[in-house]
Amino acid sequence: MTNLKLDRVLELFLRGLRGENLSAKKLADEYHVSSRSITRDISSLEDFLADHRDLLGNAYLEYSHSDHTYQLVLDEFLTNKELLAMIKCLIGTRAFSKEELLKIIGKLKKYTTVNDRAKFNKIVNNETYCYKEIHFDCQSVIDLIYDLTEYINTCRKITITYNKMSRETVKRKICPLAIMFSEYYFYLIASIDGDEENVPRYFRIDRIIGIVCHRENFSKTLDFNEGELRNLSQFMWPGKRQKVVFEFTGPSYQAILDKLHTAKILSIHNGVYTIEADVYGDGIKMYLLSQGSWVKVISPQSFVEEMKDEIRKMNNLYEKGGEENG
């Protein structure tokens, strides 16, 4: 195969990857060769796809008799439907700066078919135009995720410069354990170096403004399971692990089960669902309070008192406001 023919076959492959329909007649005019030459190129491409199924999966050229074109079909690649769903998820997270988001979407859109690209662009452009990124202290969340993943995999101790919620800037020497995503933010799960309690701490990655990697390694002595923590936590608030039992009288108990991954229904009586959930951290209090009068906590008693105390504080705010208005 000559270099010119090889270049042409490679171009056909790349154009097929972009979803372009390959017409032998149009390609012949474009490359100033005969239709027979393009047909031979397509045949060479078909041989290549058949010989490299270990790399490309079940890839083949599908011929359309209606418009006399070939389309590259790749079972291992994302479909337009899958790409659209993925981009919708990316936009919905608001986890990236607008610049980072547009760069990612631009790369993904290259894998849509030519026929669907205009429709695809219209759908995506409407949403990206109105996209509101959250505030970031760091320069790039994507870069930080990549670097932190490397430190996690190699068990390297690091010192981070971190902006706390109060906006105080602190330095923490930590052992990075995992990265999780929750409610618009990526979090680094880590233990504090030298902390005798050895409990997982949460750091919002977008608030990390500096990292120093040390030569020291750490051993993962903390009994930590990333998947389990994801199922137990709400809003990524630290705290203790406990089993909570509460009554729910709202219109959709399924929403509770979807939010609290460990929740199970203990009983149903006259429209009252008694639900038990194994949870970690103080985020459960925030979530149950958000359900208003639909929820009544039954146990443990210590958590019942926490809820009562928080509700009293809320009520005092409204009573105080009423007195001032009067």
Give the per-residue pLDDT at 163. 95
pLDDT in tens, 125-162: 888 888 888 888 988 899 999 999 999 999 999 999 99
Tokens of 119: 């429709």
Tell me, what's the pLDDT at 143?
93
User: What pLDDT does residue 319 have?
Assistant: 84
Question: Which stretch, 54-68, 116-130, 172-186, 232-246, has highest mean pLDDT?
Answer: 172-186
Domains of the chain by residue range = 3-74, 80-129, 141-221, 231-320
Determine the straight-line distance between the first and last CA of the chain, rounded to whole angstroms.
91
- Say yes or no: do domains 141-221 and 231-320 share a fold: no
231-320 belongs to which CATH class? alpha beta
Which residue type is seen at 251?
A: P
Average confidence (pLDDT) over 56-61: 79
- Asked if residue 326 has pLDDT above 60, the reply is no
At residue 324, the pLDDT reads 59
User: What is the rounded distance in angstroms from the CA atom of residue 324 to the CA atom of residue 214?
Assistant: 56
Average pLDDT over every residue of 4-26: 85
- Give the side-chain half-sphere CA count within 13 A for 131: 25
Question: Residue range 40-66: average pLDDT?
Answer: 84
Fold of 3-74: Arc Repressor Mutant, subunit A (1.10.10)
How many other C-beta atoms can be found within 10 angstroms of the C-beta atom of residue 269? 8
Q: 141-221, what's its fold?
A: SH3 type barrels. (2.30.30)
DSSP 206: G
Residue range 268-325, pLDDT digits in tens = 999 999 999 998 888 899 999 999 999 999 999 999 999 999 999 999 988 876 555 5
Residue 77 confidence (pLDDT)? 64
Percentage of the residues of the chain whose pLDDT score is greater than 90 = 38
> pLDDT tens digits for 193-226?
888 777 788 899 999 999 999 999 988 765 666 7
**pLDDT tens digits for 235-251?**
677 778 889 999 999 99
pTM of the model: 0.71
**Average pLDDT for residues 224-236, to the nearest whole number?**
69
Mean pLDDT of the chain: 86
Kindly list the strands in the beta sheet with 272-280, ordered across the sheet, starting from the edge strand earlier in the chain: 264-269, 272-280, 241-248, 295-299
185-195 pLDDT, tens digit per residue, is 999 999 898 88
**At CA 153, angle to CA 149 and CA 157, rounded to 5?**
85
Return the pLDDT at 19.
Answer: 75
Per mean pLDDT, which range of 103-117, 232-246, 247-261 is the poorest?
A: 103-117
- pLDDT of res. 221: 64
Whether residue 99 has pLDDT greater than 60: yes
Of the CA atoms within 13 Å of residue 258, those in its CB half-sphere come to: 4
